[in-house]
Amino acid sequence: MSGPEPFGARLRRAMDERGPLCVGIDPHAALLAEWGLNDDVAGLERFSRTVVEAVADRVAVLKPQSAFFERFGSRGIAVLETSVAQARAAGALVVMDAKRGDIGSTMAAYAESFLHPDSPLFSDALTVSPYLGYGSLSPAVALARESGTGLFVLALTSNPEGGEVQHAVRADGRSVGATMLGHLAAENAGETPLGSFGAVVGATLGDLSSYDLDINGPLLAPGIGAQGATAADLPAVFGPAVRNVVPNVSRGVLRHGADVVALRDAAERFAEEIRTAVAAV
């Protein structure tokens, strides 16, 4: 009896059918205020429900940032549970942006929270931090394989502070970031049409030709829009791997709320710009 369809295969199909755009759901206090909403659970629920209604039936991926829901406690988590379920029901894949990272049974528990089919927060993929050592992610890798879900591992992030760790050079001459990419390439070896273990690689980082981004897996690329990168930058940053890039736009879309049509139009503009840039490669 075959198991669930792997995340990589489902993502490849969604990207081919809907385009590769990922829209973030980041209900931080400033955005709630811009939308005319209170910084409370009611505002959180209205914000998240509106984003899901606007784009979940047309974009490949939605990426809720767990922290902005967690800050409201159990009621915020309840909103997140509903948002994840509604987004997946509308056909979007959900990448939970929780950046979990720990060891042993604790890492296993984090993985079960987001990647076990019986969890109320069951998502298609989870962002994770490997900086307790890549091997610390083994429980999450194992559960992802079993449940047909995926991971996005922090490798070359867009925040300036990341360089002090990710660009550090190991005794073998490879940087820490390159080492993480190598681990992911090994996880994805032989998978078709796309592996399920991706890397987070910032779209704002410029020329990355010194890194081997061909990991046979997806590259989640924050930085489009408010952080300064554009769709047109993607081929220069990612080179031949650009076809596997999942560009994330958050504020660039969300600032058009709270009108559903305006949000939808903004997402479609970004999606078309990305399609055009990728097609040119």
Q: Which residues are designated catalytic?
A: 99
> Cα dihedral sign for 269, 229, 49, 147?
positive
The answer to whether residues 143 and 111 touch, using CB atoms and an 8 Å cutoff, is yes
The dihedral region occupied by 242, where left means phi > 0, alpha psi between -120 and 50, and beta the remainder, is alpha
- Rounded CA-CA distance 128/199 in Å is 9
CA distance 122 to 140: 13
**Over the range 12-42, which residues count as b (16 or more CB within 10 Å of their CB) and which as e?**
bebbeebbbbbbbbbbbeebbeebebebebe
Bridge partners (DSSP) listed for residue 90? none
Report how far residue 104's alpha carbon sits from residue 224's, in angstroms, rounded to the nearest whole number.
35
Question: ∠192-8-275 over CA atoms, to 5°?
Answer: 100
Give CA–CA dist 273/133, Å, rounded. Answer: 37
Q: Which residue has the tokens 């490997």?
A: 130
Cis link prior to 258 (omega < 30° from 0)? yes
